[in-house]
Amino acid sequence: MFEKVFVINLTHRQDRWRFIVDQLRRHAQFPPHLVERVAAVDGRTVSLDQLHRAGLFSPLGWRRLQERQEHLVWGMDLTPGAVGCALSHILIWQRILTLTACRRPPGALCAPTLPYLVVEDDSLFPADFTARYEAVLPHVPAGWELLYLSGLDTAGQCDRLRVAEGVCRVPGFHRTTNAYAVTPAGARELLRCCLPLTYQLDTMMTLSVAQRELAEPYVVSPNCYTLRPPLVVQTTTLGSDIQSPSGGDPSAEEEQRRRDAGW
């Protein structure tokens, strides 16, 4: 099913680690050797100045990062927590390329037959995850590089971008990074598209859009699709180390996400 499952988890968030381990064991039923915990980067403990000098941020991204909290666009502008989240994923993409690098020819990828799964530690899996994934995967067009197993259709565009049962092109306002499958080619393309950072990572991942034969603009690089309804749901009841509170009811929001996923 997957070459490896990378699970992003802040070291001090043992509550989240216990939560996601239970999800993966009981619902996804991944064998232990397949799962690798990746220590998340805590954006509050890294030197943003050093990262800026290293070229991680675009000029606009760096300016917005200096703004006071009340001036930021919630869920879009960079924050220290969002920087840590982005670095955590970027390091995994680089790791995938290292794992799949060929000696000859230079720069070629010895791609495995299976994609990699990247999961954040606040992901909810359905009890029949494996059956659902295997049922929908044949409907995903060949050649995909990135497949969102979770995501928020914030502008209600996915239905107009449907390409097969349960599968849609990714609209430009698709959000969240909590569960996705990625190929080595997809990892390489994500590094090209997302750096330097101007916005939070889920926004950066959806900036390369085009409007072709379909009515709605959709992401064309990497070659990606999203599952609708989503196969995995991001819980809202564990709190966030990235975003400030949105002001809504976390329990009600999570219940709505479950309903949207057909649970």
**pLDDT band at residue 105 under the 50/70/90 scheme:** confident
**Confidence check: pLDDT of 3 > 70:** yes
Cα 164 to Cα 197: distance, rounded to the nearest angstrom: 32
Res 169 pLDDT > 80: yes
Residue 152 tokens, joined: 């928020």
Structure tokens at 70: 């009340």
Given its phi and psi angles, is residue 8 left (phi above 0), alpha (psi -120 to 50 degrees) or beta? Answer: beta
246 pLDDT band, cuts 50/70/90, is low
Domain ranges of the chain: 5-260
pLDDT digits 0-9 by tens, 118-160: 999 999 999 999 999 999 999 999 999 999 999 999 999 999 9
Of 143 and 107, the structure prediction assigns the larger pLDDT to: 143
Q: What is the pLDDT of residue 213?
A: 65
CB 230 within 8 A of CB 150: yes
Question: With bands split at pLDDT 50, 70 and 90, how would you rate the model's confidence at 220?
Answer: very high
pLDDT digits (tens, 9 = 90+) for 38-79: 999 999 999 999 999 999 999 999 999 999 888 899 889 999
Identify the residue with better confidence: 128 or 246: 128
> How does residue 247 score in pLDDT terms, banded at 50, 70 and 90?
low
State the pLDDT at residue 240.
Answer: 64
- Reply yes or no on whether the pLDDT at 249 is more than 60: yes
Q: Name the phi and psi angles at 250, rounded to 5.
A: -60, -40
Q: State the pLDDT at residue 245.
A: 57
Instruction: Give the pLDDT of residue 131.
Output: 96
Q: Residue 243: its pLDDT value, please?
A: 52
pLDDT at 113 over 90: no
Distance, in Å, from the CA atom of 188 to the CA atom of 206, rounded to the nearest integer, reads 15
The architecture of the domain spanning 5-260 is: Alpha-Beta Complex (3.90)
Name the pTM for this structure: 0.91
Residue type, 187: A
Determine the Cα–Cα distance for residues 179 and 172; give it in Å rounded to an integer: 18
